[in-house]
Each structure stands twice: as C-alpha cells, then as structure tokens.
C-alpha cells in the first residue's frame, strides 16, 4: 500500500486528505493519505521518521515548505527558483525528490476559467510573501507581463529577481488604483484576509479578480471585489489543481477528476461556515 500524508502546523483544517482520499477511493487505488502535525523546527527529524515508516509521498505546507529542501536529494527547476517545495516523493535510492505543484496548480486553475494564452497579457499581482512566489514563477514562464505591488516594495523587487527569468515591474500597494487600468487580471496573494482586513479596489469593469485564498479568509475581499464590479474567483480550484499535480507525480501520471474533488471541498467549506 502507498502511504501518503500532508505535513504542516497547523494542519487540522487541511482539505488535502479529503481531496486525495476522494481520488484514491474513486479510482480504487491501494493507498492511504493522512494529515500529520509537524511543529516548526522538527522538519528534518520528521522526514527521517517518515522514511523509516515507509511513506512514499508527502505534501508540505506551512511552516515546512523551505525547511524540507535540506532533505531533498533531487529538486526541480521550479523548486530552485521558487525556493520552496510542496510535494516530496521517495526515490528508489532512499532520497526525496522535491517538486512545487503550486505553480502548475495556478495555471491549471486559470486554464479552467479559459485563461491559457498569456503572451501580451498583463497581470497585476498583489503581495510578495510565500504565496506569491509560485504564482510569479508560473506566470513568468507562461509569458505574461507582471506588475507586482506590495506594501513593502523592496520585498516585491527581491522576489521578482528570484522567481522570474524575465524583467517585470514592481511598486507600492498604494499604486493600485493608478496601475489597475493596465491589468487584464488581478491576483491577490496577500494574507490581508487572514487578519480580517481587505485591500480596497477600484472599479473592475467585469475583469477577473482572482484570490489565492478560500473559505472564510477570502470572503470580505471577494465581496468587496464583487461590489466594485470585478468577476471573482477564490483559490479553491488552485488548491485542488496543485493536489492533482502531486497525485499525478505519485501515481505514474494518472490525472484525477478536478471537478469531483472541487465539489467535495466546496461542500466541506459550506458545512464549516
Ligand atoms: P504568505 O506565505 O501567505 O504569502 P507572508 O509570507 O507572511 O504570507 O506574506 C504576506 C503578504 O501579504 C505580504 O506580501 C504582506 O505584505 P508585506 O510584505 O508588506 O508585509 C501582505 N499583507 C499582509 N497583510 C496585509 C494587509 N493588511 N495589507 C496589505 N498587504 C498585506
């Protein structure tokens, strides 16, 4: 039996077990997927334990996305540029392969909305924390022009240099109203919603406002965006699409059903609300 898990702290509200078990059950696979709390600072010791316990794949969430790299014996180019991994796979030589499926997860979630042709498109991204990094890498690779705005401008300049191969623009979040007119799409990666606040937006005129968060923390921002005339989308499909990429790595390229897992997640979030 294939033993899989998601590790993080906190981990209690993770939807990953629900997503992966839905696919494992639907496809009748001989595998298990659990959630395991691993406190900060215990990443490397925990990975040694998981090796001995026979785990073959792990999803990695906060606060371990960078710390797991110390134990990775093989890392994808995406992981190197993003500086973080969310998927580990046991190799036959006993090492761990590190991948970042948040990047293809974002482009797959946007493709689901019909957004696939990025050349000549301008994306306004808000926030320059951990959540922004995979998005920047993915959209830079896809050929989009990016304007990255952040409360702390230096952080925006810094991560553009780390995660992107091409040149893009950056600036303070206060420039939002001024540059918004140039954007085909806005992607919010800030954690403002987790602190109960939201970023004030100018009129959207029917353009897409995509928030990487979902559930209760996303609600005030998406309500505000909707009231300002933006078409809105939360990050739940990105979560499911990144899970699908991990699943595919672990199960020899199998592509699981996105819509089944998304429906199950929406139902679970509604029950929590
Ligand atoms: P995550 O890993 O979720 O991205 P993070 O690394 O702590 O979390 O980054 C949080 C991001 O949200 C940062 O870009 C932060 O801006 P600063 O770099 O200036 O701190 C942004 N952020 C958090 N709260 C915000 C708020 N109330 N308004 C605007 N930006 C906010």
> 136: CA distance to ligand 1 center in Å?
15
Tell me what pLDDT residue 272 has.
Answer: 82
Assigned fold of 104-234: Rossmann fold (3.40.50)
Which tens digit of pLDDT belongs to each residue from 197-248? 999 999 999 999 999 999 999 999 999 999 999 999 999 999 999 999 999 9
Beta bridge partners of 231: 208
Structure tokens belonging to residue 1: 């039996």
| Whether pLDDT at 1 is above 80 | yes
- Ligand 1 mutation target, pool 82, 100, 151, 211, most atoms within 8 A of CB: 151
- Ligand 1 mutation target, pool 190, 198, 218, most atoms within 8 A of CB: 190
Which tens digit of pLDDT belongs to each residue from 75-109? 999 999 999 999 999 999 999 999 999 999 999 99
- Output the average pLDDT for the chain: 97
Q: What does the alpha-carbon distance between residue 44 and residue 34 come to, in Å, rounded to a whole number? A: 19
Q: Are the C-beta atoms of 235 and 193 separated by less than 8 Å?
A: no
Q: Which residues contact 102 (CB under 8 A, 6 or more apart)?
A: 82, 86, 134, 135, 138, 238, 242
| Whether pLDDT at 48 is above 80 | yes
| Whether pLDDT at 261 is above 80 | yes
Distances from the Cα of 242 to the Cα of 16, 73, 82, 107, 235, angstroms:
10, 22, 15, 10, 11
> 68: CA distance to ligand 1 center in Å?
22
Enter the pTM of the model: 0.97
Q: Where are the domains of the chain?
A: 2-100+242-272, 104-234
DSSP string computed for 170-229: EEEGGGHHHHGGG-SEEEE--SGGGGT--------TT-EEEES--SGGGHHHHHHHHHTT
φ, ψ for residue 114, nearest 5 deg: 90, 5
| Fold match flag (2-100+242-272 vs 104-234) | yes
Domain at 2-100+242-272: CATH code: 3.40.50.10860
Atom 18 in ligand 1: which residue has the minimum CA distance? 152
The mean pLDDT of 23-38, rounded to a whole number, is 98
């Amino acid at each position: 039996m294939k033993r899989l898990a998601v590790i993080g702290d906190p981990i209690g509200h993770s939807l990953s077990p629900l997503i992966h078990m839905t696919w494992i059950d639907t496809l009748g696979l001989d595998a298990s997927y659990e959630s395991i709390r691993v406190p900060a600072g215990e990443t490397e010791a925990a990975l040694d334990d998981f090796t001995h316990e026979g785990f073959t794949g792990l999803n990695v969430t906060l606060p371990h996305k960078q710390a797991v790299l110390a134990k990775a014996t093989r890392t994808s180019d995406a992981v190197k540029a993003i500086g973080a991994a969310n998927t580990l796979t046991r190799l036959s030589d006993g090492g761990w392969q590190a991948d970042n499926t948040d990047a293809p997860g974002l482009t797959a979630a946007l493709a689901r909305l019909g957004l696939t042709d990025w050349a000549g498109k301008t994306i306004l991204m808000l926030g320059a924390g951990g959540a922004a990094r995979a998005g920047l890498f993915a959209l830079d690779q896809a050929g989009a022009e990016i304007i990255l705005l952040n409360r702390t401008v230096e952080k925006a300049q810094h991560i553009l240099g780390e995660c992107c191969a091409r040149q893009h623009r950056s600036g303070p979040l206060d420039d939002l109203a001024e540059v918004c007119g140039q954007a085909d799409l806005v992607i919010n990666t800030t954690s403002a919603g987790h602190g109960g606040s939201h970023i004030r937006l100018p009129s959207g005129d029917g353009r897409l406002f995509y928030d990487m968060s979902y559930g209760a923390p996303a609600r005030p921002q998406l309500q505000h965006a909707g009231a300002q005339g933006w078409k809105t989308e939360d990050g739940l499909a990105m979560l499911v699409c990144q899970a699908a990429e991990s699943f595919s790595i672990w199960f020899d390229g199998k592509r699981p059903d996105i819509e089944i897992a998304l429906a199950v997640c929406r139902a679970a979030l509604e029950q929590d609300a």
